[in-house]
Amino acid sequence: MNNFNKDIIKELIKIKAGSPSDLSSAKRRLAKKHKSPFPNNISLLKTYHELLRDKSIRLSKTIELLLKTRPVRSLSGIVNVAVLTKPYPCPGKCIFCPTEKGIPKSYLSGEPAVERAKKLRFDPYLQVKQRIEMLENEGHPTDKIELRIIGATWSFYPKKYQDWFIKKCFDACLKKNAGNLKQAQKLNERAKHRIVGMSVETRPDFIDEKEVERLRNLGITMVELGVQSIYDDVLKLNRRGHQIKETVRATRILKDAGFKILYQMMLNLPGSNLKQDEKMFEELFSNPDFQPDLLKIYPCALLKEAPLYQQWKKGKFRPYKEKQLEKIIKRIKKKIPYYVRIQRITRDIPSQRIAAGATKISNLRQKISKQSECRCIRCREIKEKYDRKEKVFLFRQEYFASGGKEIFLSLENKERTKLYSLVRLRLSSKGKALIRELHTYGQLVSIGESKSNRSAQHKGMGKKLIKEAEKTAEKEFKVKKIAVISGVGARDYYKKLGYKLEDAYMVKNI
Q: What is the pLDDT of residues 143-155, one digit of tens each?
A: 999 999 999 899 9
pLDDT digits 0-9 by tens, 70-104: 999 999 999 999 999 999 989 999 999 999 999 99
Q: Are 203 and 159 in contact (CB under 8 A)?
A: no
Determine contact, residues 87/98, Cβ cutoff 8 Å. Answer: no
At the topology level, CATH places domain 393-509 in: Aminopeptidase (3.40.630)
Contact 390, 413 (CB under 8 A): yes
Q: Measured in whole angstroms, how far is the alpha carbon of residue 97 from the centre of its chain? A: 22
Identify the CA nearest to 150 among candidates 131, 177, 178: 131
Mean pLDDT over all residues of the chain? Answer: 94
Q: Is the pLDDT of residue 270 over 80?
A: yes
Cross-strand pairs, 225? 202, 263
- Please list, in sequence order, all residues whose beta carbon lies within 8 angstroms of the beta carbon of residue 475, skipping any fewer than 6 positions away: none
Mean pLDDT of 122-142: 97
Q: Is 357's pLDDT higher than 80?
A: no
User: Higher pLDDT residue, 277 or 452?
Assistant: 277
142/187 Cα distance (integer angstroms): 16
Q: Binning pLDDT at 50, 70 and 90, where does residue 358 land?
A: low
Quick one: pLDDT at residue 264?
Answer: 98
pLDDT, tens only, 26-73: 888 888 887 788 888 989 998 888 888 888 888 888 898 899 999 999
Query: What CA–CA distance (Å, rounded) separates 146 from 276?
Result: 34
For residue 450, what pLDDT is reported? 77
- Work out the pLDDT band at 362, boundaries 50, 70, 90: low
Contact 393, 413 (CB under 8 A): yes
Region 134-162: mean pLDDT is 96
Report the C-alpha gap between 362 and 358 in whole angstroms.
Answer: 9
pLDDT band of 360, cuts 50, 70, 90: low
Fold for the domain defined by 226-341+350-379: Transcription Regulator spoIIAA (3.30.750)
**How large is the average pLDDT for residues 177-196?**
98
Better-predicted residue by pLDDT, 409 or 349: 409
pTM: 0.94
Q: What CA–CA distance (Å, rounded) separates 293 from 364?
A: 22
* pLDDT, average across residues 328-343: 96
- Rounded alpha-carbon distances, angstroms, from residue 218 to 182, 221, 255, 296: 9, 9, 17, 24
**Does residue 1 carry a pLDDT above 70?**
no
CA distance 456 to 341: 19
Query: How high is the pLDDT of residue 76?
Result: 97
Cα separation, 375 vs 395, in Å, equals 14
